[in-house]
Amino acid sequence: MDNARPLAGKHALVTGGARGIGAAIARQLLEAGARVSLVGRSESALAAAVAELRGCGDVDGFAADVAQGDSVKRAFDLARARFGSIDILVNNAGQAASAPFLKTDEAIWQQMLAVNLTGTFLCTREALPDMLAAKWGRVVNVASTAGLTGYGYVAAYCAAKHGVIGLTRSLALEVATKGITVNAVCPGYTETDIVKDAVANIVAKTGRTEEQAHAELAAGNPQKRLVQPIEVAGTVAWLCMPASGAMNGQSLAVAGGEVM
């Protein structure tokens, strides 16, 4: 194994890979030698990410809605045709919506489950046969500290992310003797589009300034700051390495000590 490129020869697929945490993960996997497929809903965002990352290695983008099984299958088949069977899957695609519980309608509830939980299930179901055939694989689910604890006004999101943790633990036991590991990474509030939306929501509903809204979100982190995408990406990349084979069924909080 090339110590400088420990993932050389591996094909990694990253959902939600066009921006934020997903793009940071893709960059680290490319630098470790993997061929990387980016999956996301926006073809223009995927094209921009591929153009930015191409200098790091072999990368391409494939449009899909992770909550739709047929869409997932089409994108994964195209990714296999481009780079071969899938060795590493990073389920990073996610969406957050906030509302008081009694104002959480069925549409919000179903959307949070569809994108965050069903999407993780569908993508894993599509990639797992490749890993079983190869007798090696890595599945990393980007969950959230909301999968480890409770937060007010995001009941649907918390429920979905708790589901992702449960799925992670269950599948990790099923494949423990197959050369495959399944783990979750749980970021706290991270400098991403989701947090930008949360800041805008706080500003709109409370009249606070953007700086005050940022400070409110950062206050729960003992380091009193927002997590950076590269910090989440570093943890995900480590779990994908051959040397992390004993890590299985774990949910690692990347949150400055907020959840212990």
Confidence label for 113 from pLDDT (cuts 50, 70 and 90) = very high
The percentage of residues in the chain with a pLDDT greater than 90, rounded to a whole number, is: 85
Q: How far apart are the first and last CA of the chain?
A: 35
Overall average pLDDT of the 223-241 stretch: 96
Name the residues annotated as catalytic. Answer: 157
Domain ranges of the chain: 11-188+228-247, 189-226
Burial class from Cβ neighbours inside 10 Å (0-12, 13-18, 19+) for residue 230 reads middle
Residue 3 scores a pLDDT above 80: no
Three-state DSSP state, 238: helix
Per the CB < 8 A criterion, the answer to whether 24 and 230 are in contact is yes
CATH code reported for the domain at 11-188+228-247 = 3.40.50.720
Residue 247: per-residue pLDDT: 98
The predicted model scores a pTM of 0.94
Per residue in 141-161, pLDDT (tens digit) is 999 999 999 999 999 999 999
Paired residues of 233 in beta bridges: none
